[in-house]
Structure 1
C-alpha cells in the first residue's frame, strides 16, 4: 500500500512483541510498507531415545506443530512438520524413542543434548521507495505499525499543540474517550 503521495515526509511508527515504540522517518516519499508476519511457529518438543550404534541416550529439541519419528530400516529419524531434523546423526533405536511437549529447552542430565527451542516467531517490517528497500527491521511477533505524513496525526487521533519539540502531539481519541467515561462513571456514583 502506498503512503504519503504528494507529501514531503513519511513517519512509520511500529512496535514488535516487546511493545517498545520505534520510529522511522524519511523524505523519500511516497513509500510502501510491507510486513512479514509468519503464522504460529509452534511449540518446543523434546525427542529422546537410545542411539542405534551405541547405548548412549540422546535428546534433541525442536520447534514446530507436528513432531514424529520415521523408521528408516535401521533406526528412527526425527521429523518436525514433515521435515527430517538433524540429518542422520540422530538415529534412535526403534521402541526407545519418545517425543514430549516442553515449555522450554531443559536438557536432562546425562543426555547428549542438541537442537534449538527458540520458538518465538520473527516478524519483519520493510519500507520501500519505488520497489527498493530503504529500511527494514525484524523482531519478535506480533508487529503493529502506522504511517503518518508530514506533521499529520494518525487516523483516530487528535493533534494538540504544545511548547516541546516537535510542537505538537497526537492524542488517541478512543483512549481519551474511555478515560473520560471512566472518570464520569466514578463522579456520577
Structure 2
C-alpha cells in the first residue's frame, strides 16, 4: 500500500511508445499499484503468440481456432436459459483483440453478471487446446496497470511493455517537500536533495 488516508494520490505511468505520462488521480488512499505483463483481465492461459482452441472437441475433434486467451464462466440455475443450452460459457480473446470484449449493456440478461460482463462466444462444458497452433501475426508484449484501494479496483489501463510508474502522495512530487507560500496556491515545492545540501553547507559553516 502507498500513501496514507487523507492523501489524494496521483499516479503517473507510461507504456512503451508513450511520448508523455498518462495520469490517474485517486480520491482514495492508501492505494496499491500492480503492473502485469499481460492485458487487462487476462487469464493464466494467455499467450502472446496464441494457441489453438477447440470449443466442441466431442463433435469436432480437429476444429481448432487460434486465440490468445479464453475464460470459462459457470451460470447457475435457470439463468443460463437463452445461452444455447449449457450453463458453461466461454469468453474468447481472439488474435486481433487486445483484451476481452465487454457487452454494451451489462443488464441485458441476468446471466451477464456471472460472466463479469464479458462477451461469451460459445456454450461448452470443456475445451481442448493445441500449443502448436499460433496466431498468424505477432505483436508487442502487452502490459497492464491496476490501481486498487483496500482490494477494490479503482482503475485499469494497458499498453505495450515495458510499463513504469511513479506516485505522488501529497501536493508535491516524490523527492520534493511542501513549503508555505504567500501567493496562490499558497504552497511551493522544494527539492529534498537541494534542501539537504543547504543544511549540510550551513552546518559546515557553523562548525568552523
Do both share a fold (TM > 0.5)? Answer: no
Structure (1 or 2) with the greater strand fraction = 1
TM bracket (short chain): 0.3 to 0.5
Report the TM-score, using the length of structure 2 for normalisation: 0.40
